[in-house]
Chain A
Amino acid sequence: MPRIVVDVMPKPEILDPQGKAIVGALPRLGFTSFSSVRQGKRFELTVDGEVTEEILAQARDAAETLLSNPVIEDVVNVEVVEA
């Protein structure tokens, strides 16, 4: 079954409190090379059958209306992944 992967990230200008907490925890475990972390979301939409242009357009629409909030987030990637 093919899947459409949608990646959503907090907008660059928006402080990401969760990412900030993670970057604070990393050095305590010895991971000292990372100066910043931003946490986003990955959605996997499974399609029964072929992914047509129309279905892909629907996925982009869903990504902008439900999966992300354009006030605080950007849809950074929508792509088809074969299972």
Chain B
Amino acid sequence: MTELPLIGDAPGDAAVASRLAGARIGVVTFPGTLDDRDAARAVRLAGGTAVELWHADTELGDVDAVVIPGGFSYGDYLRAGAIARFAPLMSRIIDAANSDAKLPVLGICNGFQILTESHLLPGSMIKNDHLKFMCRDQVLRVENSNTAWTLDYIAGQEITIPLKNQDGQYIADDKTLDALEAEGRVVFRYVGFNPNGSRRDIAGISNAAGNVVGLMPHPEHAVEVGFGPETVVSRETGIAGSDTDGLGFFTSVLNKIVGGAK
């Protein structure tokens, strides 16, 4: 199956497609990263151009946004994300995310852990409360549709994307959690079942500016018809689980970059 842009490919919209393809989304690879190719594929399916970035690079280069994908960088040694945080490229990403340009950064799973270790996002992840690795299709509620990565969703919308982790229990002190809630920075919450004991069912959060978002579940694994969490039941009922619920992360940031954001 060839990769066709799912947006911007309508007849007569060649100009839109070309503008989307001009948006360059960097995808970082560390030793032990697993989902970089899936993340790059999600960027391309959304219509953008994926740019491979290597952890040891000392310059960020010409990218409009960055995805830090999942996996087990440095084998999760010391703490998940702890060693990756000090990679040369991470210093550039931290500076760019905090700069006036507010580079959009998405951390998925291990990428989320790297963002908390980098102090771009508050709190931390510890081992799942039940101590087991868990892999399932997970329902999330989009609580904030104003971040760079959630503009194409509607606040309150429920989406289903895969979740797979061992150290996925989000924790922070009550003061931090209260502030996150008050400022609308809880971006995703687990619905129906909390798979890891995360405080207040939090699945993903953002920084104050909304350009940096991290979450444990994997939107890049739900971007293509035939390869996502859709089941016979969800297909017939239309409830909980289309195959492409994760694609909105990538179309959101592309639309923001090309200026078509709502």
Q: Which residues of A contact B (CB under 8 A)?
A: 10, 13-15, 17-18, 21, 66-67, 69, 71-72
Contacts and interface: CB of A to CB of B under 8 A. Distances in A.
A71 B127 contact: no
B128 A69 contact: no
13 contacts: A10-B126, A17-B129, A17-B130, A17-B131, A17-B169, A21-B131, A66-B82, A67-B78, A69-B79, A69-B117, A71-B122, A71-B123, A71-B124
A14 B127 CA distance: 11
Contacts of B117: 69
The 4 closest A-B pairs by CB, nearest first: A71-B124, A17-B127, A72-B124, A17-B131
Interface in B76-124: 78-79, 82-83, 86, 116-117, 122-124
B contacts with A: majority SS:
loop
Contact of B127 (A13, A18, A67): A18
Contacts of B135: none
Interface string B113-156: 00011000011101111110000000000000000000000000
A10 B126 CA distance: 10
Nearest to A43: B78
A14 B126 contact: yes
A72 to B, nearest CB: 5
B131 A71 contact: no
A1 B171 CA distance: 39
A17 B122 CA distance: 21
Nearest to A72: B124
A71 B126 CA distance: 11
A18 B130 CA distance: 10
Contacts of A66: 78, 82-83, 86
A59 to B, nearest CB: 16
Contact of A72 (B126, B128, B129, B131): B126
Most buried by A among B78, B83, B116: B78
B173 to A, nearest CB: 8
Contacts of B179: none
Residue from the set A15, A67, A71 with the largest chain B CB neighbour count within 10 Å: A71
A18 B131 CA distance: 7
Nearest to A10: B126
